[in-house]
């Protein structure tokens, strides 16, 4: 899955939006693992810090949860 990034908008926000869309369309099911920092960096061609910011935003909005040592997962449906 490749996403064209618009360099005139914050990249981390676009990556977060792409992951959020994948959650909404069922690509990533509740409880399933989402790509980690290294995987996102490779997929989108971004810095690790940018990928971390995108995942942090999704965690802050409650879309994903992180389990230390295991990874980041789609939050269960409400």
Geometric angle at alpha carbon 32, from 34 and 60, rounded to 5°: 55
Q: In 3D, which of 19, 27, 31 has the Cα closest to residue 77?
A: 31
Sign of the CA dihedral 9, 10, 12, 13?
Answer: negative
Model confidence at 5, pLDDT cuts 50, 70, 90, reads: confident
Q: What is the pTM of this model?
A: 0.90
Mean confidence (pLDDT) of the chain: 93
pLDDT digits (tens, 9 = 90+) for 19-69: 999 999 999 999 999 999 999 999 999 999 999 999 999 999 999 999 999
Q: Which CATH architecture has domain 11-74?
A: Orthogonal Bundle (1.10)
Domain ranges of the chain: 11-74
């Amino acid at each position: 899955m490749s996403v064209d990034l618009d360099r005139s908008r914050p990249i981390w926000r676009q990556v977060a939006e792409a992951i959020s869309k994948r959650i909404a369309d069922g690509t990533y099911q509740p409880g399933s693992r989402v790509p980690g920092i290294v995987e996102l960096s490779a997929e989108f061609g971004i810095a690790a810090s940018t990928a971390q910011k995108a995942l942090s935003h999704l965690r802050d909005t409650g879309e994903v949860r992180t389990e230390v040592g295991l990874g980041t997962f789609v939050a269960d449906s409400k």
